[in-house]
Amino acid sequence: MAGSNASTVVTTLVDHPVCTDALARIRDRDTPNALFRQNLERIGGLLIAEATRELPTVDGTVETPLTTAPARRIAVQPVVVPILRAGLGFVGPAQSLLPNADVGFIGMARNEQTHQPEPYVNKLPESLAGRPVIVLDPMVATGGSLVATLHLLLERDAPEPITVVCALAAPEGIETLERAGLSVRLFTAAVDDRLNENAFIVPGLGDAGDRQFGAPA
C-alpha cells in the first residue's frame, strides 16, 4: 500500500494481492456480469477495510464464556453513501463490514441545458454532523458527479475529510477534486492513464454500471 498527498486530496493506492487479482478480472472484457459483480465486491471489501482503518473507537469490556476481556468498538457508526447506480456494487461489502452503518443514496444525472450534474435521488440523513461519511463510487472519471455529491454531503454538515472509495480513478478526476478545494481521502485500487474523448477511463474497465446490471434498454 502506498499513499500520496495533494493540497486537499489524499490518495491511497491499495495494492493487496487479492485486490489486484480482482482488478484484473473486472478489467477483462470477457468477464461476465455475475463474475464482474463478484470481483467488484472483493475489491470493495478490501478498499472499505482500508478506508475505515482510522475510524474512532471506544474502549470497554466484553464478557466471554470464561471471563471479562478488554474490547474496542467503533465509537460512531459511519454513513455509507453509494452513488447510483454503479455504487450499489460496493454496498454489500460495506454492510458486511459495517452492519450498523446507515446507508444514504445519491443519484446524479447531467442537466442537458447546463451540462452540470444534478441529483435525481437524494436520500440522506437530515444531519451528518459528527458522523464519518464514506462515498462509494467504483469509478472516478471526470469527477463532476463526485464533486456535486460531496457538496450535497457538506450541506448536511458532513465532517471533512470525506472518505471516497473507488476501484479506479482517472488523473483528471483527481484534479477535479483538487480544484474543488474539498478535503477528501480517496482509496482506490488504481489510478489509470487518462480519459478518452468520450470521458471513459483508459485502460479502465468499461461502464461499471452496465457491467454489473446490463446496459439500459
State yes or no: is 8 an active-site residue.
no
Q: How many CB atoms lie within 10 A of CB 125?
A: 15
**Is 110 tagged catalytic?**
yes
Instruction: Give bridge partners of residue 165 from the DSSP assignment.
Output: 136, 187
CA atoms of 83 and 106, how far apart (whole Å): 5
Q: Which is catalytic among the residues 25, 85, 102, 210? A: 210
Please measure the distance between the N-terminal and C-terminal CA atoms of the chain and give it in whole angstroms: 40
Residue of 110, 157, 179, 193 with catalytic role: 110
Quick one: the chain helix, strand, coil %, rounded to 5? 30, 30, 35
207 a catalytic residue: yes
| Number of neighbouring beta carbons within 10 Å of residue 185 | 18
DSSP 3-state of 152: helix
**Interior angle at CA 191, CA 45 and CA 163, nearest 5:** 50
Torsion of CA 176, 92, 119, 127, to 10 degrees: -90
Point out the catalytic residue in the list 64, 67, 68, 114.
114
Beta strands in 64-183 (DSSP E): 68-74, 79-84, 102-103, 105-110, 117-123, 133-136, 139-140, 162-169
User: Is there a catalytic annotation at residue 210?
Assistant: yes
Active site residues: 110, 114, 207, 210
